[in-house]
Amino acid sequence: MRLAHDRRWAATGLLALLLLAAPAFGQSDPLPSWNEGPAKQAIVAFIQATTTQGSPGFVPPETRIAAFDQDGTLWVEHPMYSQVVYCFERVPALVKAKPELAKVEPFKTVMSGNREAIAKLPMKDLEKILAATLSGMSVDEFQVEVKRWLAETKDPRWKKPYTELTYLPMQEVLKYLRANGYRTYIVTGGGQDFVRVYAEQTYGVPPEQVVGTAGGTKYGYGKDGRPFLTKEPRLLLNNNNAGKPEGIHFMIGRRPNAAFGNSTGDRQMLEYTKAGDGARLAMLVLHDDASREYAYGPATGLPDTKVGAFTQALYDEAKKQGWTVISMKDDWRRIFAFEP
Amino acid sequence: MRLAHDRRWAATGLLALLLLAAPAFGQSDPLPSWNEGPAKQAIVAFIQATTTQGSPGFVPPETRIAAFDQDGTLWVEHPMYSQVVYCFERVPALVKAKPELAKVEPFKTVMSGNREAIAKLPMKDLEKILAATLSGMSVDEFQVEVKRWLAETKDPRWKKPYTELTYLPMQEVLKYLRANGYRTYIVTGGGQDFVRVYAEQTYGVPPEQVVGTAGGTKYGYGKDGRPFLTKEPRLLLNNNNAGKPEGIHFMIGRRPNAAFGNSTGDRQMLEYTKAGDGARLAMLVLHDDASREYAYGPATGLPDTKVGAFTQALYDEAKKQGWTVISMKDDWRRIFAFEP
């Protein structure tokens, strides 16, 4: 009877294993907005390799870090970064507060309303507008101002607030990673304080996990003696290109295990992520869906645009380095939560 | 029989409640190295006010932040910051690598071994030594170097590695806060990358929760094509005095609910923390125990020293603002884990 006893126990053990495993098998697809294909497979394989105890690629939970570019990777960046729209729309209020600016370029051109002339403003002038409209107020005032603007403003194409123009497939990746112990960071060329205003509600990413281009602040006291911080135009961190790995080291101090981007500004972040030991994931979103979103970059045959330059050289490096290119057209079944 | 039935259920419910509550009542003291007194009471009252659902001071778990200065607050800072010791001890290796420095001040003085002359070096020269010894290598090399130095070096008084000279009562506060949902940050005037090397093992604080004085890094490629970051002497964040709230905003983006310091360099951090709404905790460690540790600052009658200046003005502000002063002598039953 010894054998039968063992067999019975073995069967019970097997049943227990099946029951334990059942939630995994029975689990609904964590990436329902993704079509089956190499991109989805790469994400699932990465999670399995890094979270399976005993796997050679296993990463201890406390060191699991994933970095996401924002503009063009988590939400729409065309035809203009929403933060740049914000800055332009802030110019009239700025000029009202400081009338002397009305005669000074580039504010004069912006106030003229001449769209052609505004579109031609060189990068240097754009930086002046950003610095002037993103500084000079307290960090609390700035938060209130951005929050109000986001609530009032709609994207002209979809007639939705910008914060609804996030890509549902990427929202699923954020959640899937977090459900597997990853801390998800936004690593953006956009303004750190700007993105922090809505990142928690929009992406589930708290302020301390937003790494972005940042200016300094200045500590001071109000009339009531209470201390507050004023935003200064002095640039502390230019979180683009090589600035992304530099910003990651500065703010996080660990190399990410996974990184997601969509433009040449993300190249160094992806290189840096991939250069670490063990299983690594590097992905690039390719905007090749003119009907559901936009098409720009090499695979489309269209010239690169000012924002989100996905150059042919970047495409070639992706292929060479084993980064996975995500085709919006082929890999994403749905793009926005508000669309079927 | 209805009543009896209800009573039986009521009794069962009460028993269940008692059983549920038992771990709380039966829990051992979370601060066993603290003597009973106002300092210990302030910590316990703060935890209760901010973590009790329905309490007016309740803080949602995701926004619970506590900030700790390091030198003199979490570990011994006398007679010299251990990081400064590290930098001085690195000078010979630096001069070996760059022999031209042997003839240049302040390196010449350091190499002379003349203790009196070294002690007289002005702050400007000290900064030169720090910048030179904390930069010029990759971030990985720096980590290896600091780790090796910490393993080999002992404090001359206790003959223990510096990482054992942490205050047991403060370790208990760190754990007590974390057990109650707080994320504990180190906000130090010391080098961010230096402290990150041992903060996780020594304090349970991961690299991304260390805010410190930081220089820039430079992204580049090795001979094998692999990218790496080189530490640069360029100062990004001077995390002292007003730099502490500025660094907190930059790195965390939220105002802490509690802050702990021990010197004038922590004044603005404590002010900033206390100026927020709701229940706030601001504490200062007073070094008044010459026999078990050191005594310096106003309460001791001894003059302020170069490091950890706890001035009379700071003491007066603490009293005025309702910050709690921790007397090492009176409030701490034990100071180090290695002592009874």
Q: A67, A196 in Cβ contact below 8 A?
A: no
The per-residue pLDDT for B311 is: 84
3-class DSSP assignment, residue B300: helix
> Cα-flanking dihedrals φ and ψ of residue B307, to 5°?
-100, 150
- pLDDT band of residue A119 (cuts 50, 70, 90) is confident
Q: Is the pLDDT of residue A156 over 60?
A: yes
Query: A12 to chain B nearest CA, in Å?
Result: 33
Residue A217 in contact with partner chain B when CB distance is under 8 A:
yes
Q: Is the pLDDT of residue A186 over 50?
A: yes
Residue B232 in contact with partner chain A when CB distance is under 8 A:
no
pLDDT in tens, B5-48: 445 545 455 444 444 444 444 468 999 999 999 999 999 999 99
pLDDT in tens, B83-98: 999 999 999 999 999 9
Residue A249 in contact with partner chain B when CB distance is under 8 A:
yes
The per-residue pLDDT for B119 is: 84
pLDDT in tens, A63-110: 999 999 999 999 999 888 999 999 999 999 999 999 999 999 999 999
Contacts of A207 in chain B (CB under 8 A): 252-254
CA distance A195 to B245: 20
Q: Is the pLDDT of residue A179 over 90?
A: yes
| Closest Cα in chain B to A194 | B253
Q: Is the pLDDT of residue A301 over 70?
A: no
Q: Is the pLDDT of residue A307 over 70?
A: no
Residue in A210, A229, A249 nearest the CB of B246: A229
Rounded to the nearest integer, the mean pLDDT of chain B is 90
**Does B250 sit within 8 Å of A214, measured CB to CB?**
yes
| Closest Cα in chain A to B236 | A236
Please state the rounded mean pLDDT for residues A150-154.
97
Q: A258, B211 in Cβ contact below 8 A?
A: no
Q: What does pLDDT average to in each consecutive run of 10 residues of chain B (340 residues)? A: 48 48 62 98 98 95 97 94 93 94 94 89 90 94 97 96 98 98 98 98 98 97 96 94 98 97 96 96 95 82 59 90 96 95
| Closest Cα in chain B to A246 | B217
Contacts of B242 in chain A (CB under 8 A): 218-219
Instruction: Spell out the alpha helix ranges (H) of B27-167.
Output: 38-51, 82-97, 107-112, 115-119, 123-133, 139-152
**Does B275 sit within 8 Å of A227, measured CB to CB?**
yes
Query: B217 to chain A nearest CA, in Å?
Result: 6
pTM: 0.90
The per-residue pLDDT for A115 is: 85
Contacts of B216 in chain A (CB under 8 A): 246, 250
Task: Choose the mutation target among A138, A182, A219 for the interface with B, i.e. most B CBs under 10 Å.
Answer: A219
Contacts of B192 in chain A (CB under 8 A): 250, 253
Residue in A206, A219, A246 nearest the CB of B242: A219
Q: How many helices (H) and strands (E) does chain A have?
A: 13, 7
**Does B275 sit within 8 Å of A219, measured CB to CB?**
no
Q: Is the bond preceding B106 in cis, omega lying within 30 degrees of 0?
A: yes
Residue in B207, B208, B252 nearest the CB of A207: B252
Task: Choose the mutation target among B203, B208, B277 for the interface with A, i.e. most A CBs under 10 Å.
Answer: B208
Q: B282, B270 in Cβ contact below 8 A?
A: yes
Q: A263, A69 in Cβ contact below 8 A?
A: yes
Contacts of A60 in chain B (CB under 8 A): none
Q: What angle do CA A251, A254, A259 make, to 5 degrees?
A: 90
The per-residue pLDDT for B308 is: 56
**Does B271 sit within 8 Å of A227, measured CB to CB?**
yes
Please state the rounded mean pLDDT for residues A37-58.
97
Closest residue by Cα to residue B67 from B213, B269, B207 = B269
The residue ranking higher by pLDDT, A57 or A14, is A57
Residue A242 in contact with partner chain B when CB distance is under 8 A:
yes
Residue A126 in contact with partner chain B when CB distance is under 8 A:
no
3-state SS string for A113-176: CCHHHHHCCCHHHHHHHHHHHCCCCEHHHHHHHHHHHHHHCCCCCCCCCHHHCECHHHHHHHHH
Q: Is the pLDDT of residue A183 over 70?
A: yes
**Does B252 sit within 8 Å of A219, measured CB to CB?**
no
**Does A62 sit within 8 Å of B254, measured CB to CB?**
no
DSSP string covering B151-182:
HH---TTT-S-GGG-B-HHHHHHHHHHHHTTP
| Closest Cα in chain A to B218 | A246
Residue B330 in contact with partner chain A when CB distance is under 8 A:
no
Residue A192 in contact with partner chain B when CB distance is under 8 A:
yes
**Does B193 sit within 8 Å of A227, measured CB to CB?**
no
Query: A236 to chain B nearest CA, in Å?
Result: 7
The per-residue pLDDT for A24 is: 47
Residue in B229, B242, B251 nearest the CB of A246: B229
Residue A253 in contact with partner chain B when CB distance is under 8 A:
yes
The greatest distance separating any two alpha carbons of chain B, rounded to the nearest whole angstrom, comes to 99
Residue B100 in contact with partner chain A when CB distance is under 8 A:
no
Task: Choose the mutation target among B197, B234, B249 for the interface with A, i.e. most A CBs under 10 Å.
Answer: B249
Q: B47, B281 in Cβ contact below 8 A?
A: no
Sign (positive/negative) of CA torsion A302, A305, A307, A308? positive
**Does A218 sit within 8 Å of B242, measured CB to CB?**
yes
- pLDDT band of residue A311 (cuts 50, 70, 90) is confident
Which of 61-90 (B) contact A at CB < 8 A? 62
Contacts of B251 in chain A (CB under 8 A): 208, 251
Please state the rounded mean pLDDT for residues A231-260.
96
ipTM: 0.89
